[in-house]
Amino acid sequence: MEKVKVQNKREAILKATLKMVNNHGFHAAPMSMISKQAGVSPGTIYLYFENKEDLINTLYRELKAKFAEMIFSGFDSDMTVLDGFKVIWGNVLAYKCNEPEEALFIEQCDNTPMISDENKQKGYQAIQPLYDLWERGQREGVVKPFSRIMLFSFSLLPILYLVKESLRNETSLSTVDIENAFKASWDAISL
Partner DNA sequence: GATGAATGAGCCTTCATTCAT
Partner DNA sequence: TATGAATGAAGGCTCATTCAT
How many Å apart are CA 67 and CA 126, to the nearest integer?
9
How many Å apart are CA 1 and CA 58, to the nearest integer?
24
Which residues in 66-105 contact DNA (CB under 7 A)?
none
- From the CB of 191, what's the least distance to DNA, in Å? 50
Which residues in 27-66 contact DNA (CB under 7 A)?
28-33, 40-47, 51-53
- Looking at the Cβ atoms of 42 and 90, the one nearer to DNA is 42
Three-state DSSP class for residue 172: coil
- From the CB of 117, what's the least distance to a copy of itself, in Å? 9
Residues that bind a copy of itself (CB under 8 A): 23-28, 107-108, 111-114, 144, 146-147, 149-150, 153-154, 157-159, 161-162, 165, 177, 180-181, 184-185, 187-189
- From the CB of 35, what's the least distance to DNA, in Å? 8
**Nearest by Cα to 152 from 168, 128, 179, 177:** 128
Half-sphere exposure of 156 (CA within 13 A, CB side): 22
CA distances (Å), 146 to each of 106, 127, 142, 153, 184, in order?
A: 26, 17, 12, 11, 16
How many Å apart are CA 117 and CA 115, to the nearest integer?
6
- Residues paired with residue 190 on neighbouring β-strands, in sequence order: 143
Q: For the window 8-27, what string marks contact with DNA as x by the rule CB under 7 A?
A: -x------------------
Question: With binding defined as CB under 7 A, does residue 112 bind DNA?
Answer: no
Three-state DSSP class for residue 143: strand
- Looking at the Cβ atoms of 21 and 92, the one nearer to DNA is 21
- From the CB of 149, what's the least distance to DNA, in Å? 34
Asked if 88 and 152 count as a contact pair (C-beta separation under 8 A), the reply is no
- From the CB of 153, what's the least distance to a copy of itself, in Å? 4
- Looking at the Cβ atoms of 22 and 66, the one nearer to a copy of itself is 22
Query: Residues in the site for DNA, rule: CB under 7 A?
Result: 2, 5-6, 9, 28-33, 40-47, 51-53
